[in-house]
């Protein structure tokens, strides 16, 4: 049975979910944010140590300003409303990605939630915001060069926002692509793609994927 230490999810399909119901795309994001809780609970109950969720990419700034503003506002509300839950459930909140372009208010709420949950150890939740895999690798290499550290596969890995390899990478919403998500960490990940749109995705769907993952023959290039 394979150990599942690091689960990563590309949460896709919010817009289509909303459109199908005649709602605004942003309603899809709102419902999508609620699914995060179910995923955290599943990870805690199944001893998964790290959950990385792709919430906003370095490319998502290209969306209409109204949608970007909505997502920023939703993120802010998410950070504030989850404080108690994360503390009580032992979730350590982290972000991956470059948060420098965010508003001062958003940065403040990120800092507060990180500080409040820094000693928690049941689950590390990495929320990927203004995240791009290429950007993460570039920032890591720049950091090493600034510190005069030798460039090696291992030093780059350790300088990433999240150094741990992904065991299982799930993408909802029916597309078969990586969209610049955790390129370095996904090198030997198992992939699972599902047509289910993110707001419809739940722990039952995830459990089927995880059970399948556990029985996979992972060879990491060996025999
Ligand atoms: C992809 O769906 C989803 C996003 C770009 C945003 C992800 C955001 C959430 C799941 C909710 C916010 C989460 C938190 C934690 C605040 P899409 O808009 O690309 O959907 P589409 O492919 O159907 O258009």
Domain assignment of residue 176, yes or no = yes
190-200: per-residue pLDDT in tens? 999 999 999 99
Domain assignment of residue 75, yes or no = yes
Domain assignment of residue 178, yes or no = yes
Own/partner long-range contacts of 139-143 (Cβ < 8 Å, ≥24 apart): 139/98
Ligand 1 centroid–CA 153 distance in Å is: 32
In 3D space, the residue among 222, 209, 223 whose CA is nearest the CA of residue 4 turns out to be 209
Domain assignment of residue 144, yes or no = no
Domain region containing 52:
6-132+166-214
Domain assignment of residue 149, yes or no = no
Contact predicate 171/194, CB 8 Å? yes
Say how many domains are in the chain. Answer: 1
CATH number of the domain that residue 210 is part of = 3.40.1180.10
Annotation says 38 is catalytic: no
pTM beyond 0.85: yes
Residues in contact with ligand 1 (CB, 6 Å cut-off): 11-16, 29, 32-33, 36, 55, 60, 74-75, 78, 127, 173, 198
54-103: per-residue pLDDT in tens? 999 999 999 999 999 999 999 999 999 999 999 999 999 999 999 999 99
Annotation says 46 is catalytic: no
Domain assignment of residue 222, yes or no = no
Domain assignment of residue 85, yes or no = yes
Q: Which atom of ligand 1 is nearest to the CA of 175?
A: 22
Residue by residue, pLDDT tens for the chain (223 residues) are: 999 999 999 999 999 999 999 999 999 999 999 999 999 999 999 999 999 999 999 999 999 999 999 999 999 999 999 999 999 999 999 999 999 999 999 999 999 999 999 999 999 999 999 999 999 999 999 999 999 999 999 999 999 999 999 999 999 999 999 999 999 999 999 999 999 999 999 999 999 999 999 999 999 999 8
Domain assignment of residue 41, yes or no = yes
């Amino acid at each position: 049975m394979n150990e599942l230490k690091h689960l990563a999810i590309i949460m896709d399909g919010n817009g289509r979910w909303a459109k199908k119901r005649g709602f605004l795309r942003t309603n899809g994001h709102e419902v999508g944010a609620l699914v995060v809780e179910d995923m955290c609970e599943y990870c805690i109950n199944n001893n998964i140590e790290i959950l990385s969720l792709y919430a906003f990419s370095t490319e998502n700034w290209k969306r209409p300003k109204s949608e970007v503003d909505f997502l920023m506002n939703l993120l802010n509300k998410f950070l504030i409303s989850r404080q108690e839950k994360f503390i009580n459930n032992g979730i350590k909140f982290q972000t991956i990605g470059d948060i420098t372009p965010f508003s001062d208010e958003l940065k403040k709420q990120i800092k507060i939630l990180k500080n409040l949950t820094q000693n928690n150890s049941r689950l590390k939740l990495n929320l990927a915001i203004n995240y791009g895999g290429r950007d993460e690798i570039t920032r890591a290499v720049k950091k090493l060069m600034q510190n005069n550290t030798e460039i090696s596969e291992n030093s780059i890995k350790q300088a990433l926002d999240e150094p741990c390899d992904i065991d299982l990478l799930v993408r909802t919403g029916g597309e078969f692509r990586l969209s610049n998500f955790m390129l370095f960490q996904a090198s030997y990940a198992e992939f699972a793609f599902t047509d289910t749109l993110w707001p419809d995705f739940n722990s039952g769907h995830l459990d089927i994927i995880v059970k399948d993952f556990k029985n996979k023959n992972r060879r990491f290039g060996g025999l």
